[in-house]
Structures are given as structure tokens and as C-alpha cells.
Amino acid sequence: MAKLTKEDLKKIKDKVLAKSALKEEGPRARVTVHMGTCGIASGAKEVMSALMAEIADAGIRDVAVTTSGCMGMCSREPLVTVECLGREPIKYERMDAAKMKRVFQEHVLKGEIQTPFALARGEESSE
Amino acid sequence: MEEKIRITIDGREVTANPEQTILEAARENGIFIPTLCQYADTTNVGACRVCVVEVEKARTLVASCCMPVSAGMVVRTDTKAVRDAQRMIVELLWASGDHNCLVCEKNGNCELQDLVYWLGIEKPRFPIESPGYEIEKTNSMIVRDLNKCVLCGRCVRACNEIQVNEVLDFSLRGSRAKVGPAFDSDYIASECYFCGECVDACPVGAITFAQARFGGRPWELEKVRTTCTYCGVGCQLDLNINKGKIVKVTGNRDYGPPNQGSLCIKGRFAMDFVQHPDRLQRPLIRKNGELTEATWEEAYDLIARNLSAIKEEHGPDSIAGFASARCTNEENYLFQKFMRAVIGTNNVDHCARL
Amino acid sequence: MEEPMIGSIPTMQEIPFFAHQKLRVLRNRGIIDPGKIEEYIARDGYLGLAKALTEMTPAEIIKEVTASGLRGRGGAGFPTGLKWQFCSQSKGDVKYVLCNADEGDPGAFMDRSVLEADPHAVLEGMVIAARAIGAHYGYIYCRAEYPLAIHQLNIAIAQARECGLLGKDILGTGFDFDLEIYQGAGAFVCGEETALMTSIEGKRGMPRPRPPFPAVAGLWGKPSVLNNVETFASVAQIVLKGAAWYASVGTEKSKGTKVFALTGDVNNVGLVEVPMGTTLRTIVYEIGGGIPGGKKFKAAQLGGPSGGCIPAEHLDASVDYEKVAELGAIMGSGGLIVMNEDKCIVDIARFFIDFCQDESCGKCTPCREGTKRMLQILTGITEGKGREGDIELLQEMAVIIKNSSLCGLGQTAPNPILSTIRYFRDEYEAHIREGRCPAGVCTALKRYTVDAEKCTGCGVCAKVCPTKAAKGEKKQPHEIDQATCIKCGVCMEKCKFEAIFVN
């Protein structure tokens, strides 16, 4: 990235928002694995590996995978957020490889939310 | 010079320089504040906390050794809070080690002992617990008994700031903290130069002179100021003498140049030759192949006679003089003067040029 | 289309843990990828810096931060704007901005989480501070025990440099600032500002007396500003949204939000950000979800080893700098450890003083020797060797150590003792006078006793007892000899009739 000016910051914002928005032509879904130290300590890396393996096996190209930091609820880690086009994001708690596999197969691919592991829907409020 | 400022200490209004600490201002005005870790010509670190005083509007007690004065400052050195803190601190130090004055070389010249006495402490409220370190006697010069160490850090500063040898520092943490060379080695295995600065700096009996052990109590020792005989620098030192014998050598910062009280290994630890039985104390003249004792008059006569004869017969340049670095500058000056003016030759040299 | 299942899942706003929080420092948590600077920028990142560099003078930045009421989040709560002002007034062409990320309190992980999840927020705050005081170089002093935080920071620093947000001519404004990470070697005392600077200088991390204060002579003897991670992470938002916005939440003297690491005997362990002045009850019961197993709340330790405990009677106290101090604790950096009724308060005090003794640098006498003796006395009490007068001696020592120690570590180390004696003196007395640990924690004070009604005299206890303390006639109620009992508990474990109990 070249050196930025103040005007560039605004452009980047618009570009990133446009690029990361879910859309028909892809990405249609985004899976965020929360990988702070708390998440990693409770198995987030295994969850991530399982997710990547599932995506590779399924040969899917329009699912974005990203990582993020601690969501705050360390005692429910590993946490995973699944966003599908046109739907509210779902946060899954206490994930492991098997649960991740199921969430990918059922929720990401078929749209069926896996309520037994779901912690919450929607997003946190911030100012 | 900056203008003096006025401060109040124990109800007395006194003047002070703005750069001064509370301790310096108090001392200058004859007000006593006890200290332990404070050591002239080194950084004031405020470690022991014995010098705490009350300063109006301060959140806590302040260490007077490192708190600069400011205009209008109101200081009290003698309140109950100050004495209670000093007592607690000294009790803690006392109980922290093997402060057994019966067998301590520093008995009578110990700053911890002085503090205990000054504060009138009968005994500490805490059980006395020596850390149990082995006493370091691995060299013939310095004995270290860390069981007596109060961690004032004076040795560390003496080593790093006065001599700049950078051998000593603190290691470990909490009550296990200790001072010493790197990797907790003993002095002999370290980079120590054995200047003995740390021994002079130690306020208690933790670092002492090996040669002086059982050589005399502090009050039996007479200090004789002299000039070191080892080189031409002319370091001033104090021979500590008990019944005509040199027990140890100490530096004195008050003497000023050239050495400001600091010494090297030779001046500090190599004065025992004075009392060595093999040392020549009278002139010897070889008679019939045997060295026999003579008087100084006989010896001088012989030297003068022979030098005159050689000069007469072969000329002054047949004689050369070679002086010792163990002589003082003044002695060396006299020697070359003697060679040039009396013998009449420029053949004079000095071992320090080798 | 409303899915049939989704209604059963609560929204984030319906979950008390999230509902009671107000995210400012943690506003990007779980949302951005900390490894991608563009995601931070997309959340208005570096706009605060842009504003500070292009629209504000250094004096205006300081004025804004001062007006916001932001106080140092590292523990002492010194007004941040005032600190910057002092440093900006110090003469000198070389100044430093330092970030304290040496988070060492047991149970605290606020700074770690912020650095891992949103490292650019800290960098942005530091550049703004640098502009305010006229510094061109900085250090982040981060403990080496935080490898992920350091990893994320390294990525963030590299990206910020590449984008011209660090280095020469930031955002084309001509302002230069760069920084590096200095990894701490695991000493708690290096969180103390002068020790931290001594450590960066390559020396043993020991505090030095103040004055001179860091704002006048800090790192390498140059004027320096040191703030902690959370403080810096608050700055960009203040500059961007204004002091009035920041001060709109909080109490009269404690503005904004505070991040807490909520741990201990609480259902929801985690990282929470609440407005200053939120009650302890809300934090523990609403956000924290209460105490596991239906146990009673006993106390919350606020401020780590430098803090104090707040008992159940003050659950409705507002958590702000003044109130917390009045209750005998400190806000500290935000460690909040909840303790249930099973915790022995003397043992808790012993734990914290043990920590402080271990971490004391050993420089000053009151801290080095005083904490050791307090630990000794407390250990004695927990082992049934407490004596009349111990409580009074502890109190006397605590006051003197607080009053005469060199640095903040020693000056606050006695707080846990003072506050536990203040609220739980009866528990200390039970240990000392009755040889009893009310919480049943102190092993030496446990008394294993046989209930003669329930005992069938089967003899299992006598068989398993390693010291032959449990004994009795066959088929007759057994007894346990307290003098030889080593309190291992194996008799109670093996008794099939629940005839052995502890009191």
C-alpha cells in the first residue's frame, strides 16, 4: 500500500465496506473464527483447521474465512461467527472440530442454523 | 550561583540552594537525619528508606536523600510517623540477617549498629532469620558474608560509579535479592579487580578485609595517612595500625586528589610486605663473598667512594641510574637530579618506561 | 423469510453479558481482522489521527483530551491530558511516548486482548500523543509472555509504516513518529513507570525515586509520557468524536468507560467494558451471570495485588476511581476477581502478598523485608500459628510500608491485607483465636471428625489412614486423633457412610 493521505482513508473505508459486503456473486457467506489467546487456548486453531478442510473438501469458493480477536466472552470460547447473505449473523459458542464441521455443512451450506451451539444472533452495539 | 531559597525544617527556618536535597540542607544546618544507603559521590537512590521525613502536603513520607528542596517547603524530621517508620525499617533489616556483633569485624564501626542504638531498639519484633549463605572466603583479600548484607547497594554504586569496574549488581528479586558479580560467582571467578572500593563502601560487616580478620577492633586501630609506594600517582591512603602493625589499608575521600580515596589492588592489599620477615630492613655489604649487615653510614660511604672512583677513572657517562616505580614522584625527581647534578650524566631512566 | 429456529436464539442485546456493556475501547472486538489495517480504517481508524494532524494544534489535542476527563487506565488514574501537558511544557528536542503493555496483575488480561484484537487503536493513540507532546519516537513495553499480542503488534506496525501512518511524514503532514516494541523479561515491577524506563535502557528493571518525574526526565533522561494500552486505545475516539461525547458517560470525576477482566468464581469469565459508575452488582450478576453453583458472593478483588477486596455489602457501590478508593481498593488496570463463599479471606490476602514479595525488586527495605514478614505472619495464621496481636502488627506494618516504600508496588502491596482486615476481621480472629478457618480452606486448621451416629465401625478409615490417626474398636464408632492427623482427607473419601466430616 502506498503512503496514505487523509482522503485515502475515506476511500479505503468505502472500498473495504464494498468488498467485504456479502452479495450474490460472492462471497455469499463469511465465517469468522475468534482467535484471541483465549480462543486459541480453548481450541480455535483446531476449529479453523476443520473449517478449512471442510471448505477444501466441498470445493466451495464463495465462503470468506476470516479471523478476529476476543469477543469478550472468554469462558464460551472458541467462538465462531457465521454470516450468510441476507441473514442475521449467528455466533456459535464452545466450538470444536466436529461442531464446526456440522455448522459448515448444515448452516453455511444449507442455511440451517445449529441452535444447540448458537450463543446469539445479530451484532454487538457500539457507538 | 542561584538564589537561596527558604525552607522550614523542624520549625526552624533555614536557607538552602535550590539544587540541594532535604538531607543536604538539613546537614548543612546541623539537623541530623539518619541514613544508610546514602554514600558520598554516588547517586542518591532512596533504597533503604531510613532517611524518611514528613513533608507538608506530600502523599507519603519522602526519602530526604533524594528529594530536592523547594521554596516554602515544610519538613519535619522527628515526628512519630517518621520514627515509627525508621524503627520498623531498622527492625526489618536487623531481623533479616546474621547481625551478630560478637564476631563482626565492623562492631563499633557499623552503621546498622549505630541506627539500632540511635533509635533505641531493644530487639526486633520479627524472628531473626539469617538467609544462610555460605561465607565467601575464596580469595585472600575480601571476605563476603551476605548474611550481613542490608542491600543498601553502596558496594554496587562504589563499583559502578566510583571505580567504574561494573562488576557488582543486584540479582534475584524479593527477599532473595542479593548483590554480587554476574552469574552469582564469587569475586575471584569474576571480573573483579580487587580495588576494595566495595569494602570501604559497605556500612556493615558484609564485605570485609580478609587480612584484617581478628587483627584489631575499630577503636584499637590508629590511622596513619601516607602516600602509596607502588607507583608515581601518589595515592593518599590510611594505614590502619594496631600496636605497630599494619592491619589494613583504607581510602579517605576527604583527602581529595589524586585518588579521592580510591585505591588499586596493590595499594589496598599489598602492604603486607612491610611486615614480611624477608624484607631488607638494614643495608647489607658483601664482605669476603658474604652479605653482612652494615650501618647506613657504612653503606653510604661505600656507595659514595665507589661512585667517585668510577667517575674519576672512567668519566661520569660510565655510570647509569635506574629508578623504581615504587618510589614517589618526588623521590624520582631527586634521583634524576642526583644523577645529573652530582654524578654529571644524563644516563638516568625509570622502570615505568619499560 | 423468518426462519423457524432463529427466534429461539437471543440477540446480542438480549444477552445480559453484552447488553450492559458499552464498547469504546473494545468497539472493534470480534469485528475486524487485527492483521488487516484496511479493516481498521474501514471502522474509521486513523481518522482521529488525521484530524489531530491536520486540524488541530498540539495544544488543542491536549485541551481536548483534558476536557474529556480521561484518566490513566493503568491504575493510578492520573488525568491523561494533564500528564501530556506537563511533558509538552518540558524543554527538550527529544521526547518519548511510551506504552505500558507490561500487564502483570494475576487474572488481568485487558491489555492483551486489546493488543490482540485491535492493535492499531493503540498505535493511533500513541501517534496522537506524540504529536501533542512533540515526540518522534516511542516504545511499546510489552511482556514477552504475550506472543500473540506481540505478533499482531508487529504486523500492525509494519502495515502502518507501509501506509505512512508511522515513520516519516505521516499522512503527508510532515510529522514524523516511529516506534518499536521492547519485550519485558517477566518482572511485575517493570509495570512501574520508572522501572519500565530503566528496563528499556537495558538495566535491571528497578524503580528510581521521583522527582524527577518522567514528564521532565524519563527514558534516557528525556521528557517522556507513559500511558497504558487502554488509555492510548481511548484517545483516537476522543479526538474524533470530541471530549463532550467521551464525557457523556461515567461519573462526575471518572469519565468514559472502563475495561475489566472479569474472572474467578463467576459464570461468564471474560472481558467487559462498562461505563464508569456501573455497580459491582451489575458487573458480577448481570454481565458475569452470577456465581456458579448457586454459591454466595463473598468479595471481589479489584486492582490486583495492589488493590483490595470489596465485600457483598458494597455490591451496589458505583465502580469509579473515587468510590473504589474509598472502599479500600483501587481501580487498578481492571483486574476483577470474584470470590465465592468457599474462599478463605486470609488465604487470599496471603496469596497477594506472596505475589508482591516474589515480585518486589528488592531495592527498598519496606517492600523487600516488610512484605516478607507480612507473608510470614499471614502464613502463620493460615497454619494455625496465629497469635494475639498479629492483626494489629499487620495493620501497623501496612501503614508504614504504604507510607515509606519507594515505588507504587510497595506503596500498594499492603492494600489486600488492609481491606481484608477491614471487612473480614472476624475471619482473621476465627483463625487466630479459635483455630478455625470459616471457609474450610486452610488445611492445617481442618478437623476431620467422626459422626458417632453414622459410623458403623467398619474400620475402613483406620485401614486407609497413613498415620494411624483414625482408630477404634470393630463395630464401635471410630475416632480421629487430631494430634497425629495430617489432614489428608483420605478417611473421608473412603468412608461409605458419610460419617466423617470436616469442621
Q: For residue C326, what is the domain's CATH number?
A: 3.10.20.600
Query: Residue C403: its chain B contacts at CB < 8 A?
Result: 60-61, 81, 85
The amino acid sitting at B96 is: S
Whether chains B and A touch (3+ CB pairs under 8 A) is answered by no
- Report CA dihedral (C125, C127, C130, C134) to the nearest 10 degrees: -140
CA distance B52 to B75: 10
pLDDT, residue B337, reads 97
Q: For residue C460, what is the domain's CATH number?
A: 3.30.70.20
Residue showing cell 502478598 = C353
- Same domain membership, residue C58 and residue C106: yes
Range of the domain at C137: 15-247
Q: Tell me, yes or no, whether C6 lies in a domain.
A: no
Confidence of residue A1 (pLDDT cuts 50, 70, 90): low
Listed residues B248, B275, B302: the one ending a domain: B275
Q: Which residue of C360, C362, C366 is in closest CB contact with B89?
A: C366
Nearest residue of B to residue C372 by CA position? B175
Q: Which residue of B60, B66, B95 is in closest CB contact with C404?
A: B60
pLDDT over 90 (residue B328): no
Handedness of CA B158, B161, B163, B166 (dihedral sign): positive
What is the tally of structural domains in chain C?
4
User: Cβ of A74 and C271 within 8 Å?
Assistant: yes
Q: How far is residue C255 from each of residues C49, C76, C315, measured CA to CA in Å? A: 22, 14, 21
Listed residues C287, C311, C340: the one ending a domain: C340
The model's pLDDT over C364-398, given as tens digits with 9 standing for 90+, comes to: 999 999 999 999 999 999 999 999 999 999 999 99
Q: Which residue has the higher pLDDT, B203 or C446?
A: B203
CA distance C114 to C112: 6
Nearest residue of A to residue C43 by CA position? A13
Q: Which residue of C368, C403, C404 is in closest CB contact with B174?
A: C368
What is the tally of structural domains in chain B?
3
Listed residues B275, B296, B311: the one ending a domain: B275
The model's pLDDT over B94-114, given as tens digits with 9 standing for 90+, comes to: 999 999 999 999 999 999 999
What would the mean pLDDT of A55-61 be, rounded to a whole number? 93
Q: How far is residue A58 from each of residues A109, B78, B311, C230, C378, measured CA to CA in Å? A: 9, 83, 114, 42, 62
- Same domain membership, residue B266 and residue B347: no
Best of A32, A37, A40 to disrupt the C interface by mutation (most C CBs within 10 Å)?
A37
CA distance C404 to B89: 9
What would the mean pLDDT of C139-152 be, rounded to a whole number? 96
pLDDT over 70 (residue B144): yes
What would the mean pLDDT of B2-10 be, rounded to a whole number? 91
Express the helix, strand and coil content of chain B in percent, nearest 5 each.
35, 20, 45
CA distance C294 to C283: 17
- Same domain membership, residue B226 and residue B335: no
C233: which 3 cell numbers? 486505545
Express the helix, strand and coil content of chain C in percent, nearest 5 each.
45, 15, 40
Point out which residues pair with A117 in neighbouring strands: none
Q: Tell me, yes or no, whether B118 lies in a domain.
A: no
| Length of chain A in terms of residues written | 127
DSSP per-residue codes, C196-211: HHHHHTTS------SS
pLDDT, residue B326, reads 78
Listed residues B78, B103, B137: the one ending a domain: B78
Query: Residue A84: its chain C contacts at CB < 8 A?
Result: none
Range of the domain at B133: 127-275
The model's pLDDT over A72-113, given as tens digits with 9 standing for 90+, comes to: 999 999 999 999 999 999 999 999 999 999 999 999 999 999
- Same domain membership, residue B255 and residue B298: no
Q: How far is residue C430 from each of residues B44, B219, C404, C435, measured CA to CA in Å? A: 46, 54, 31, 6
Q: Tell me, yes or no, whether C7 lies in a domain.
A: no
Report strand pairing: B207-209 vs B245-250: unpaired
In angstroms, the separation between the Cα of residue C406 and the nearest Cα of chain B is: 7
CA distance B105 to C54: 70
**Non-local CB neighbours of B49 within 8 Å, separated by 6+ positions:** B63, B85, B89, C364, C365, C366, C404, C405, C406
CA distance B231 to C288: 77
pLDDT over 60 (residue C3): no
Q: Tell me, yes or no, whether B43 lies in a domain.
A: yes
Query: Residue B81: its chain C contacts at CB < 8 A?
Result: 403
- Same domain membership, residue C284 and residue C232: no
- Same domain membership, residue B203 and residue B146: yes
Q: For residue C148, what is the domain's CATH number?
A: 3.40.50.11540
- Same domain membership, residue C51 and residue C143: yes
Q: Which residue of B48, B85, B153 is in closest CB contact with C403?
A: B85
Report strand pairing: B290-293 vs B321-323: unpaired
- Same domain membership, residue C110 and residue C30: yes
Q: Is C117 on the interface with A (CB under 8 A)?
A: yes
What would the mean pLDDT of B222-249 be, rounded to a whole number? 93
Nearest residue of B to residue C361 by CA position? B173
- Same domain membership, residue B136 and residue B19: no
Confidence of residue B2 (pLDDT cuts 50, 70, 90): low
Eight-state DSSP code of residue C279: B
Phi, psi of C365 (to 5 degrees): -60, -50
The amino acid sitting at B348 is: V
Q: Do C105 and C260 form a contact (C-beta atoms < 8 A)? A: no
Q: Which residues in chain B (219-258) have CB-CB distances under 8 A to chain C?
A: none
**Strands ordered across the beta sheet of B236-242:** B222-227, B236-242, B245-250
The model's pLDDT over B267-289, given as tens digits with 9 standing for 90+, comes to: 999 988 888 999 888 999 999 99
Q: What percent of chain C has pLDDT over 70?
A: 99
Alpha helices in chain B (DSSP H): 22-28, 80-95, 111-119, 154-157, 197-201, 265-269, 296-314, 329-337
- Same domain membership, residue C126 and residue C33: yes
Evaluate the omega torsion of the peptide bond into residue C292 and state whether it is cis, within 30 degrees of 0: no
Q: Tell me, yes or no, whether B335 lies in a domain.
A: yes
Express the helix, strand and coil content of chain A in percent, nearest 5 each.
45, 20, 40
Listed residues C197, C220, C247: the one ending a domain: C247
Average pLDDT of chain B is 95
In angstroms, the separation between the Cα of residue A87 and the nearest Cα of chain C is: 9
Domains and CATH numbers, chain A: 27-121 (3.40.30.10)
What would the mean pLDDT of B300-329 be, rounded to a whole number? 93
The model's pLDDT over C15-26, given as tens digits with 9 standing for 90+, comes to: 999 999 999 999
Alpha helices in C20-79 (DSSP H): 37-42, 47-55, 58-68
The model's pLDDT over B26-40, given as tens digits with 9 standing for 90+, comes to: 999 999 999 999 999
pLDDT over 70 (residue A66): yes
CA distance C253 to C71: 9
Q: How far is residue B351 from each of residues B95, B323, B327, B331, measured CA to CA in Å? A: 54, 6, 11, 14
DSSP, collapsed to helix, strand or coil, labels residue C459 as coil
Q: Tell me, yes or no, whether C9 lies in a domain.
A: no
- Same domain membership, residue C192 and residue C325: no
Q: Which residue of C357, C366, C411 is in closest CB contact with B174?
A: C357
C175: which 3 cell numbers? 510529522
**Non-local CB neighbours of C443 within 8 Å, separated by 6+ positions:** C487
Burial pattern B313-340, b for ≥16 Cβ within 10 A else e, equals eeebeebebebeeebbeeebeebeeebe
What would the mean pLDDT of B320-344 be, rounded to a whole number? 91
A49: which 3 cell numbers? 483447521
**Non-local CB neighbours of B198 within 8 Å, separated by 6+ positions:** B142, B154, B155, B158, B159, B168, B207
What would the mean pLDDT of A23-41 be, rounded to a whole number? 93
The amino acid sitting at B174 is: G
Residue C463: enclosing H or E segment and its boundaries? helix C460-464
Listed residues C192, C217, C247: the one ending a domain: C247
Report strand pairing: C175-184 vs B290-293: unpaired
The amino acid sitting at C489 is: G
pLDDT, residue B1, reads 55
CA distance A41 to C445: 37
- Same domain membership, residue C457 and residue C334: no
Task: Tell me how many helices (H) and strands (E) chain C has.
Answer: 21, 14
Residue showing cell 478437623 = C447
What is the rounded radius of gyration, in angstroms, for the C-alpha atoms of chain B?
27
Q: Tell me, yes or no, whether B91 lies in a domain.
A: no
pLDDT, residue C1, reads 43
pLDDT, residue B345, reads 97
- Same domain membership, residue C189 and residue C136: yes
The model's pLDDT over B68-99, given as tens digits with 9 standing for 90+, comes to: 999 999 999 999 999 999 999 999 999 999 99
pLDDT over 70 (residue C337): yes
pLDDT over 50 (residue C2): no
pLDDT over 60 (residue B243): yes
DSSP, collapsed to helix, strand or coil, labels residue B172 as coil
Phi, psi of C298 (to 5 degrees): -105, -55
User: Cβ of B61 and C396 within 8 Å?
Assistant: no
DSSP, collapsed to helix, strand or coil, labels residue C52 as helix
- Same domain membership, residue C458 and residue C418: no
pLDDT over 50 (residue C158): yes
Confidence of residue B236 (pLDDT cuts 50, 70, 90): very high
Comparing CA positions, the residue from B198, B211, B200 lying closest to residue B272 is B211
Query: For C276, how many CA atoms within 13 A lie in the half-sphere containing its CB?
Result: 23
Q: For residue B25, what is the domain's CATH number?
A: 3.10.20.740
pLDDT over 70 (residue C207): yes
pLDDT, residue A3, reads 79
Q: For residue B189, what is the domain's CATH number?
A: 3.30.70.20
